[in-house]
Structure 1
Amino acid sequence: MTPTSLFSAPDSTAAFSAPDAFLAGARRVAIHQPNLFPRLTTLAKLWAADCWVVLDNVQFARRDYQHRARLAALTDPGMRQWLSLATHLPEGQPTLIGDALLADPARSQRRVGQLLQQLYGRSRHWPLFQERLGPLLSLFNTTDRLAAISEASTLILLRLLGWRGQIMSSSDLPARLGRSRRLADLAKACGARTYLCGTGGMRYLAVDAFTRQGIHVTAFRTPSEGVWASAREVSAVRALMVLGPKVLARELSAVAVAQS
């Protein structure tokens, strides 16, 4: 289900990829549900990892970010608008993320393309982003799987920022039941030495489940000033359109190294 092959890596990642010293010595794994154009805090955690496990076999949540993104205006981050994709749940509320379907793929395709251009078309970084957006818009013609679209939207941002990591799907990996045990098993299956956990996850995570697997848990934190002021609230697309990929990647690199 991973559409990795649709998106090529940047022409040169050497200028703004995570430092080799950061990646060496410990395989860092982040586990996160596929989000539609994720918030900057989420993107930062994924970018800091060298393996992202897409958590696609847990229950879909309508109030979460799997099918929607809060976009902030280019000139005013306080002006915000939801980009939402109408979603059909074949099994009702128990439907897993990987089984959720787009209710109207053609309409969703138009909505994504039109709203992003409306909000960010005046950015000098828009042409590059628009070019990378093309394969995502084409994906709407070949699949009605929401998770594939959301994952691809995240991958666009990661690749633009020079991320060279690996993607795996939780549905393809063995894991026991139980929230913390499941995550620990998934991390172990990816050869993790370090698990990057967001601040929300740290409230419920049973760290000992990871310790027994020989995995260190790092509480992933981001700054709260500058471009990070609204990082927990709005999609990372605005930061990309304001700063450009090289500057934003340096911001992410600094945050990634600070987790050591």
Structure 2
Amino acid sequence: MPRLNTLAKLFAADYWIVLDDVQFARRDYQHRARLASMSHPSRRQWLSIPTHLPHGRSTLIRDALLVDPERSRRRVMHMLAQHYGSSTDWPLFREELDSVLDEFWRTDKTADVAEASTRMLLGLMGWKGRILYSSRLPARSERSQRLADLAAVTQARSYICGTGGTRYLGVVPFTAHGISVVPFRTPASRVWDGGHELSAVHPLMTYGIRAVTKEVRAVAALYRFAD
């Protein structure tokens, strides 16, 4: 259940390349999401999926395993209902959530559940882009070079870079491919409060799917116009 800023960045792009062949990071958002109370947003709680790394710290994202799929499934359903069951849009969200909950029965991979949750949220907002996987595409290993090579596979003209990426990303490999690096920024409005920390489920349920989708579409339009 990615953060709103992450979801909006994906929505603004034509391609989402799932980076499945890099090292899993326990302290990141790859197997957890931060939820908040609708009435008291400062009250926050982690929704985590217990994950086993069969190769220790060197385990790739695609190889990380669910520790207890059925228990995690119940936890996801319970915590989301507890936090957002009073939302007007909860019935629609709950219906779509089945596609994520069913994933716990289909797979033993944490990455599959994470991807399913992102697909579900993008689907709620009507994203029409394409999904690819880095493990199936040619790319060199250096961090910035890898991202530039992956973007080049899609014949991209621009790479949308979040605030975290701007701290390490080198633009030279992108320039070599004729790709511009575009910093991603979001508006300063209530919908985006906590957008870099809280799961996108929080604003979707708090302000409504239609209202948040309108905000995200407006941001996406700015980047398409710039492109």
Q: TM-score range by the shorter chain?
A: over 0.9
1:13-72 alpha-carbon deviations (Å, 9 max, x no partner) = xxxxxxxxxxxxxxxxxxxxxxxx011110110011111001111100100000000001
Tell me the equivalent position of 2:149.
185
Deviation at 1:253, TM superposition (A): 1.5
Distance in structure 1 (CA, Å) of the matches to 2:100 and 2:222: 32
After TM superposition, the structure 1 stretch with the greater mean CA deviation from structure 2, 84-93 or 72-81, is 72-81
Distance in structure 2 (CA, Å) of the matches to 1:202 and 1:116: 32
Deviation at 1:230, TM superposition (A): 1.0
Deviation at 1:257, TM superposition (A): 2.4
SS at match of 2:146: helix
Deviation at 1:225, TM superposition (A): 2.9
1:117-176 alpha-carbon deviations (Å, 9 max, x no partner) = 111111110000000001211110110101000011011110000111111111111100
Distance in structure 2 (CA, Å) of the matches to 1:211 and 1:251: 31
Task: Give yes or no for the alignment of 1:165 onto 2:94.
Answer: no
SS at match of 2:211: helix
- Give 2:155's aligned amino acid: G
SS at match of 1:64: coil
Task: Give yes or no for the alignment of 1:111 onto 2:75.
Answer: yes
| Aligned with residue 224 of structure 1, among 158, 168, 188 | 188
Tell me the equivalent position of 1:145.
109
Deviation at 1:89, TM superposition (A): 0.4
| Aligned with residue 54 of structure 1, among 18, 43, 46 | 18
Tell me the equivalent position of 1:174.
138
SS at match of 1:141: helix
Deviation at 1:77, TM superposition (A): 1.3
Alignment of 1:202-213 (within 5 A): 202-213=166-177
Number of matched pairs = 224
Distance in structure 2 (CA, Å) of the matches to 1:66 and 1:185: 23
Deviation at 1:192, TM superposition (A): 1.1
TM-score normalized by the length of structure 1: 0.84
1:74-114 alpha-carbon deviations (Å, 9 max, x no partner) = 22211111000100001011000010000111111000011
- Give 1:127's aligned amino acid: P
- Give 1:112's aligned amino acid: V
Identity of aligned residues (%): 58
TM-score normalized by the length of structure 2: 0.96
Distance in structure 2 (CA, Å) of the matches to 1:104 and 1:72: 24
1:176-224 alpha-carbon deviations (Å, 9 max, x no partner) = 0100000000111122111101011011111111011011110111123
Alignment of 1:1-260 (within 5 A): 37-259=1-223, 260=226
Distance in structure 2 (CA, Å) of the matches to 1:84 and 1:224: 28
RMSD: 0.9
- Give 2:81's aligned amino acid: Q
- Give 2:87's aligned amino acid: S
Distance in structure 2 (CA, Å) of the matches to 1:258 and 1:80: 31
